Amino acid sequence: MSSNTDLLNSIRASEIGLTLAELLTAHPSIARRTAQRLIAKLIDSGQVAATGEGRARRYFRADAQPRSGVLATRVDRFPPFIPRSADSQDIVAYIDQLPEARKPVGYQRDFLDAYRPNETWYLSESLRRQLHKMGRTTDGDKPAGTYSRAILNRLLIDLSWASSHLEGNSYSRLDTRELIEHGKAARGKATIETQMILNHKTAIELLVENIDSAEFNRYTLMNLHSALSENLLPNPADEGRIRQHAVDIGKSVYRPLSTPQQIEDALEVLLGKANQIEDPFEQSFFMMVHLPYLQPFADINKRTSRLAANLPLFRANLCPLTFLDVPEQAYSGATLGVYEITRVELLRDLYIWAYERSTQEYLAIKQDLAEPDPLRLAWREFIKQTIREIIKNPELEPLSCIRRAVAERIPEGEQAGVKALTVEELRRMHEGVLARYGLRPSEYTAWKAVHGH
Q: Give the E-state strand segments of 286-333 in sequence order.
A: none
| pLDDT (0 to 100) of residue 70 | 36
Evaluate the CA torsion angle 414, 369, 153, 291 in order and state its sign. Answer: negative
Q: Is residue 283 domain-shared with residue 421, that is, in the same domain?
A: no
Among residues 197, 297, 446, 360, the alpha carbon closest in space to that of 205 is found at: 197
**Three-class secondary structure of residue 15 per DSSP:** coil
**Three-class secondary structure of residue 156 per DSSP:** helix
Q: Is residue 303 domain-shared with residue 324, that is, in the same domain?
A: yes
Q: Is residue 361 domain-shared with residue 228, that is, in the same domain?
A: yes
Q: Note the pLDDT tens digit of each residue in 188-208.
A: 999 999 999 999 999 999 999
Q: In angstroms, rounded to a whole number, what is the distance separating the alpha carbons of residues 276 and 118? A: 8
Backbone angles phi, psi at 371, to 5 degrees: -65, 140
Per the domain annotation, does 230 fall within a domain?
A: yes
Q: Note the pLDDT tens digit of each residue in 284-312.
A: 999 999 999 999 999 999 999 999 999 99
The amino acid occupying position 419 is K
For the whole model, what pTM was predicted? 0.69
Per the domain annotation, does 207 fall within a domain?
A: yes
Q: Is residue 124 domain-shared with residue 185, that is, in the same domain?
A: yes
The answer to whether 422 and 406 are in contact (CB under 8 A) is yes
| pLDDT (0 to 100) of residue 72 | 36
* DSSP character string of 36-74: HHHHHHHHHTTSEEEESSGGG-EEEEGGGPPPTTTGGGT
pLDDT confidence bin for 76, thresholds 50/70/90: low
Per the domain annotation, does 379 fall within a domain?
A: yes
Using DSSP bridges, classify how beta strands 48-51 and 58-61 pair: parallel, antiparallel or unpaired.
Answer: antiparallel
| pLDDT (0 to 100) of residue 97 | 86
Last residue of a domain, one of 48, 73, 98: 73
Last residue of a domain, one of 339, 366, 393: 366
- Domain of 444 in residue numbering reads as 374-451
Q: Under the phi-then-psi rule, with left for phi > 0, alpha for psi from -120 to 50, and beta for the rest, what region is 44?
A: alpha
Q: Is residue 22 domain-shared with residue 119, that is, in the same domain?
A: no
Per the domain annotation, does 154 fall within a domain?
A: yes
**Three-class secondary structure of residue 189 per DSSP:** coil
**Tell me, what CATH number does 345's domain have?**
1.10.3290.10
The amino acid occupying position 352 is I
Give how many domains the chain has, as a whole number: 3
Q: Is residue 38 domain-shared with residue 133, that is, in the same domain?
A: no
| pLDDT (0 to 100) of residue 67 | 38
Q: Is residue 378 domain-shared with residue 362, that is, in the same domain?
A: no
Among residues 318, 246, 260, 262, the alpha carbon closest in space to that of 285 is found at: 318
Q: Note the pLDDT tens digit of each residue in 134-188.
A: 999 988 889 999 999 989 999 999 999 999 999 999 999 999 999 999 999 999 9
| pLDDT (0 to 100) of residue 109 | 97
Q: Is residue 357 domain-shared with residue 428, that is, in the same domain?
A: no
pLDDT over 90 (residue 17): no
The rounded percent of the chain whose pLDDT value lies above 90 is: 57
| Dihedral (Cα; 64, 68, 72, 76), 10-degree rounding | 10
Q: Note the pLDDT tens digit of each residue in 321-370.
A: 999 999 999 999 999 999 999 999 999 999 999 999 999 888 766 555 44
What's the rounded mean pLDDT across residues 119-131? 96
Q: Note the pLDDT tens digit of each residue in 46-70.
A: 788 877 666 767 887 776 544 333 3
Per the domain annotation, does 81 fall within a domain?
A: no
Last residue of a domain, one of 316, 345, 366: 366
Q: Is residue 69 domain-shared with residue 99, that is, in the same domain?
A: no
Per the domain annotation, does 38 fall within a domain?
A: yes
| pLDDT (0 to 100) of residue 71 | 38
Q: Is residue 299 domain-shared with residue 327, that is, in the same domain?
A: yes
Q: Is residue 128 domain-shared with residue 51, that is, in the same domain?
A: no
Q: Is residue 272 domain-shared with residue 310, that is, in the same domain?
A: yes
Burial annotation 75-91 (CB, 10 A radius, 16+ → b, else e): bbbbbbbbebeeebeeb
Per the domain annotation, does 78 fall within a domain?
A: no
The answer to whether 239 and 226 are in contact (CB under 8 A) is yes
Per the domain annotation, does 391 fall within a domain?
A: yes
